[in-house]
Amino acid sequence: MVLFAVTIIVNTSFSLLIRAAQRQNVNVVAVGFVNYVFAGGLYWALSAATRPPMATPVLTIGIAAGVLYPTVFLLLLPAMHMRGVAITMAIVRLSVLIPLGGALLLWSEMPGATKMYGIALALVALPMLSLDKGINDVRLSARQTGLLVALFLANGACLLMSKAFQMTGLVAQRPLYLAIVFSGGALACGGVYFLRRKARLKRAELLWGIAVGGANAASNMLLLYTLDVFLAAVVFPILAAVGLGLATVFAAATWREIPGKLGWAGIAVAVVAVALANSQQ
């Protein structure tokens, strides 16, 4: 259980570190760039030590995920700015519906009755989370609502890529796969950063990037170890529900990012929806 608890804490710390850096008014795109360089470097070093063979699915799925990961990161930034950590992470957690749909369409994994209840609740939670005032009283414009929908879809696509890689059975090539994924993230975030760059990389951005990258790399590795010990049907609902609760409480206590009544209700519905959607029935 210690391993599971550490996995939840480190996984949750990734989003909280991003928000903390954002609140310090550092260049968060630069932080994202350093994050992916650092995490990718760790996985390339691990791949060099283990020397796994290169297989075509590792490259193709890794490149696709390498485009999606930084897309999610770049969408997280304005979403957190508009609605804070709690509501943003609830939307991210609900994107588990995307790989569930992919499993149905691509691998004929028919969801059971409990999963269907979870999907139905998620459809209730999403508009509640989108309509809540979040950390300010400003109503979302159509463009901002579209951004939250894009975040939901992009993160769901990332989870779908993880499912696709899992279906290959290439367990020994996980470090190589993640090295490719994070290298793609470094290229994408690096491109955005250098196009917008107005000053050199600052020490604060470097330090925040290393902290975020360490959490990013560690959470992925810890998750793999946790899945070796516990069933996925146990890991994912607990990780989603407890992680969302921790992020909400931390943001409320530390930064006073307190959702409105509709947001709290939406978060509660989201926790139940994620738990049901990840059930074995």
Give the per-residue pLDDT at 239.
73
> CA separation (Å) from 195 to 30, 71, 105, 262?
11, 16, 39, 39
pLDDT digits (tens, 9 = 90+) for 112-145: 677 667 767 766 776 666 666 666 666 667 788 8
- Quick check: 99 pLDDT over 90? no
pLDDT digits (tens, 9 = 90+) for 6-33: 888 998 899 899 999 998 989 999 999 9
Check: CB of residue 66 under 8 Å from CB of residue 180: yes
Give the per-residue pLDDT at 264.
78
Check: CB of residue 156 under 8 Å from CB of residue 95: yes
Sorted by where each begins, the domain ranges of the chain are 2-277
Give the per-residue pLDDT at 265.
80
String of DSSP letters for 79-147: HHHHHHHHHHHHHHHHTTHHHHHHHHHHH-----HHHHHHHHHHHHHHHHHHHS-TTSSPPPPHHHHHH
